[in-house]
Structure 1
Amino acid sequence: MLYRVTDPTGHITHFESASSDRSKAIIAVSISSTFTIPRGSFMLPTFCDLHLHAPQFLYQGTGLHLPLMKWLDEYAFKAEERIDGDHDLARRVYQRLAERLIENGTGAVLLFGTIKEETNLVLASVMQQAGIRALVGKLSMDISTRPTYTEHSASASLASAESFINNIEALMAPLPPHQRLVQPVLTPRFVPTCSNELLEGLGQLSARTGVMIQSHLAEARDEVDWVRQERGIDDFEVFEKANLLTPRTVQAHCTYLTPSEMSRLAEHGTSIAHCPLSNAYFSARRLPLREALHAGVKIGLGTDIAGGYSANVMGSMRWAVGVARMREGARIEGENVGPKEDAENAHAETNLGLDWLESMYMATRGGAEALGLECGVFKVGAPFDAQCLKLFDPETGRGVGALDFLDLESGSGDMTLSLEIVEKWWCLGDSRNRTDMWVQGRRLGQKTIV
């Protein structure tokens, strides 16, 4: 068993075996404030959701029968405009979203908001109060199929983006540095809603301020075709020319990138938010995940509410493994697993599958690395962002929630928490297994640092 200690700022100062002399000495003088992981439970870093549209939580789980561009017109833009016009509704939606994120073990999240600055400040305030690490993106879009939902000009959009950055900094300024959980993110929605002037301005603003960037890249056939028709080049080149592919950038989806573009993405240091569930609905292609990893691209997982119907990162992990295994099956059967260039490239004999442990990494440390955060790992100096998961009752051997351990219940099984037992949780577990959660050393729902 390992023992850890956090300082008053919520950073880990000691992490080693509980049986070591130093751990024993620390325990002896701090037994009253010690949290002991119960037998049958384990600790895991909190999940990191790399792609979630906060206002779309209003209608999650509906409207998934349409292609992307029509879906945006019929559902997304209307819902976002409605929330921009009703801050009471916005606060209710965002508070419930925060509750669901905590329920699902998400401690850090990269959020798309709406176009109005004030509404995004509501979102930032709610996430800060909930104790969730949140990178909040005020949408930048000067082009729209909905005339009432646009910023109308590149200059107005850029001014609003810079004002939003300044207001988030002002919102966080009164707090000690370790309690500043919210950051602003520059958020051009995607190429079809942004003029070249706006994109170039955002690239310059990010370079000047160091603020992160998020958007959608090579997401779906109708989106890719629209960009080629209107701009004469692929959206990858549009972002590249605007200096928006940087080590501070997270691009969602990327299912239509060619192998050469994937390599260039890695050279830029840009990360991918892999959203396998929403890709199943809105993209005719699956992300070439193994090839992207081989190319050196940093990858985390996103739920993509509401293009994906679940705010639970566990669903994203399971879908990521399932989709990758289907790609590997297609490779074995000699089927084309991606663009023509993929079939001819050097990884033709590489296993394209993904195992559950790799998906756990992407859901925790992988996402944190994409965001430049120090969480997602237990080590000295890292913030203590953790969830405690109970798998079975050590007295009876009975599993918690959807888990059944019949050998343990009969007394014939080994109650040591093995990888096999944890894998069962990965496949079948849910929020009923989550007993505690901490972000920056603070147990959520409480005011004290533990």
Structure 2
Amino acid sequence: MAERIVLDGAAIATVDGPEHVEGHVVVKGDRIAAVGAGRAEPGPGERIDVRGCLITPGLVNTHHHLYQHATRGYAADAPLFEWLTRLYPVWAGLDEDIAHAAAAAGLARLALSGATTAADHHYVFPRGGGDVFGAVVAAAGSIGLRLHAVRGSMDRGRSRGGLPPDSLVEDPDAALAGTDAAIGRFHDPSPSSTVRVAVGPCSPFSASERLLRDCAELARARGVRLHTHLAETADEQRQCLAETGRTPVEYADDVGWLGPDVWLAHTVHLTAPEVARLAGTGTGSAHCPASNGRLGAGTAPLRELLDAGVPVGLGVDGAASNESGGLGEELRQALLTARARGGPAALSVREALHAATLGGARCLGRQEEIGSLRPGKLADLAVWRLDGLEHAGIEDPVAALVLGPPPPLRLLLRGGRPLVEDGRLSSVSEVDLARDLRTASTAIRARAERLEVAP
């Protein structure tokens, strides 16, 4: 595409500014140069007529496990702890080839659903599996999304009261060394970076108190963000109380895991004082409604979190607990689950869009760079087609996006670079991705069957 691109004639939802029934967005290089009502002034570059479309910021996925795209459909009716117990031995067969194929497929699915940024929490490092973390980063480069690569870790195997087999966990010192190496190898703190690294021991029930404390210290010494699962299920709540005498939020607070540099996945089971504590510390929440529903984990107190001022983004979670793998449909899922819990005022269509864009950017510490359409911000934007049968007659384009079926993409730009054009990936063959994913899924299933751990 040209150095200067003019998108003309679409409805525009800037998220943090005025909306336009018919307006324009001008992109110059990797930045937004102008946003406004009406047609753009004549000028150089490529002019694209996008009438019948809605332009929004590119969506921001705040929680994922990309390697899980190779293990969709397992333990279809199991709650979280049983699901994990059945899947950890399967994931022990992961290697870098499988990780790359799964991550590429997962990132492609995210792009096709409107996402330009993804946070991936990778905490499985099988012995002899090769460079699985590097494989995920490489996959992001091939698909083109911005990646927040969370270097996870576990040191509590079954012999220490955890769920994963001992063969799948790391020694705490090795986990810390691997995390520090990942920061040095991949983290780019520049405003336009496409890869940043965060520190992410998996959860309080799979990471020791020592690992949690040391990881928080490492992250803050290196100036990177922190991420973990927290308060996802009632089983986790009971286990944490039994082991520590504290709820998951109280325990996280005690070990240094609340703060403006932290975002937590799920936060389903919270008391009112805990919601206030998250807000008071500036801790973010990655809300994963489809995954929570798939595992029967419960419904997060989304209205309460938003009213308290907690930064809230949306997350797909791993495709083994959300087989769809798309972020666009999470807007509708978030709205429906919030209203099922709290009534019709529990979440508006624009609040759902905000969570999927600027709210997610805030969780990742990138609210000044992405998440809304403003001149000077990175040109990460989605152009949704609303002129088809699925959305015809819906006057409010944001309502059409959130309440209707996920629209096809006319265009998806990351830093001015096209990732999706007319509903198709721009630089990668979907046929090749599907073939590689089938090969990877077959390989990891065969390894599990040899060990008699398949579902």
Partner of 2:26: 5
- In the alignment, which of 160, 176, 179 is matched to residue 158 of structure 1? 176
Q: Which amino acid is the alignment partner of residue 372 of structure 1?
A: G
The answer to whether residue 330 in structure 2 is matched with residue 316 in structure 1 is yes
Bigger share in helix:
1
TM-score (norm 1): 0.81
Question: Considering only aligned residues, what root-mean-square deviation do their CA atoms show, in Å?
Answer: 2.2
Q: Distance in 2 between matches of 1:79 and 1:114?
A: 14
2:119 counterpart (97, 110, 127)? 110
CA distance in 1, matches of 2:355, 2:371: 10
Match of 2:93 in 1: 82
1:70 aligned partner, one-letter code: E
Q: Cα distance 1:162–1:44, how it changes in 2: closer, same or farther (>3 A)? A: same
Describe how 1:48-197 pairs up with structure 2 within 5 A. 48-75=60-87, 77-83=88-94, 86-116=95-125, 118-145=131-158, 146-151=165-170, 153-169=171-187, 177=190, 180-197=193-210
Q: Residue type matched to 1:161 in 2?
A: T
Partner residue of 2:36?
Answer: 16
Write out aligned runs for 1:193-342 (5 A). Answer: 193-305=206-318, 306-329=320-343
Residues 202 and 377 of structure 1, relative CA distance in 2, 3 Å threshold: same
| 2:432 counterpart of 1:430 | no
How many angstroms does 1:315 deviate by? 2.4
* Counterpart AA for 1:319: Q
Asked if 1 retains the 8 angstrom alpha-carbon contact of 2:80 and 2:297, the reply is no
Instruction: Give the one of 384, 390, 408 matched to 1:389.
Output: 384
Query: Does the Cα contact within 8 Å between 2:115 and 2:328 map onto a contact in 1?
Result: no
Q: CA deviation at 1:141?
A: 0.9
Hey, what does 2:370 align to over in structure 1?
375
1:84-127 per-position Cα deviation (integer Å, ceiling 9, x unaligned):
xx222222111111221111111111111133382111101211
Distance 1:426 1:179 in 2: 28
Specify the code of the residue in structure 2 equivalent to 1:74.
R
For the residues of structure 2 that align with 1:292 and 1:178, how far apart are their CA atoms? 28
Deviation at 1:78, TM superposition (A): 2.9
Shift of 1:404: 4.7
What is the CA-CA distance between 1:446 and the residue it aligns to? 5.7
Q: CA deviation at 1:440?
A: 0.9
Residues in 2 aligned to 1:280 and 1:136: alpha-carbon distance in whole angstroms: 25
Between Structure 1 and Structure 2, which shows a larger proportion of strand residues?
Answer: 2
Are residues 54 and 79 of structure 1, via their aligned partners in 2, closer, same or farther at CA, if it must alter by over 3 Å?
Answer: farther
Contact 1:277 1:303 in 2 (8 A): yes
Q: Is the 8 A contact 2:110 2:327 kept in 1?
A: no
Deviations 1:309-337 (A, max 9, x none): 322223222121112222234xxxxxxxx
Q: Unaligned regions of 5+ residues in structure 1, if any?
A: 330-350, 393-398, 406-416
2:145 partner letter: I
Kept in 2: contact 1:255–1:283 (CA 8 A):
no
- TM-score, with structure 2 as normaliser: 0.80
Q: Is the 8 A contact 1:386 1:437 kept in 2?
A: yes
The SS at the match of 2:167 is coil
In the TM superposition, residue 240 of structure 1 has moved relative to its aligned partner by 1.3
Contact 2:120 2:148 in 1 (8 A): yes
Q: Distance in 2 between matches of 1:389 and 1:369?
A: 23
Query: What SS does structure 1 have at the residue aligned with 2:64?
Result: strand
In 2, Cα distance between the equivalents of 1:42 and 1:236? 39
Specify the code of the residue in structure 2 equivalent to 1:2.
G
> What secondary structure is seen at the aligned counterpart in 2 of 1:34?
strand
Partner of 1:353: 346
Q: Which amino acid aligns with 1:13?
A: A
Per-residue deviation, 1:64:
3.1
Contact 1:219 1:283 in 2 (8 A): no
State the 1:179 CA deviation. 5.7
Segments of 5+ residues of structure 2 without an aligned counterpart are: 1-21, 159-164, 420-424, 428-455
Per-residue Cα deviation, 1:8-67 (whole angstroms, up to 9, x for no partner) = 3x1122233455xxx52xx23x1x422332x21121111111111111111234423112
Sort the Cα spacing of 1:326 and 1:115 in 2 relative to 1 into closer, same or farther, 3 A: closer
Q: Structure 1 residues 244-253 or 232-241, which shifts more?
A: 232-241
Call closer, same or farther: CA 1:78–1:352 in 2, change over 3 Å: farther
The SS at the match of 1:435 is: strand
The residue aligned with 2:415 is 440
* Alignment match, 1:338: none
Residue identity in the other structure for 1:14: A
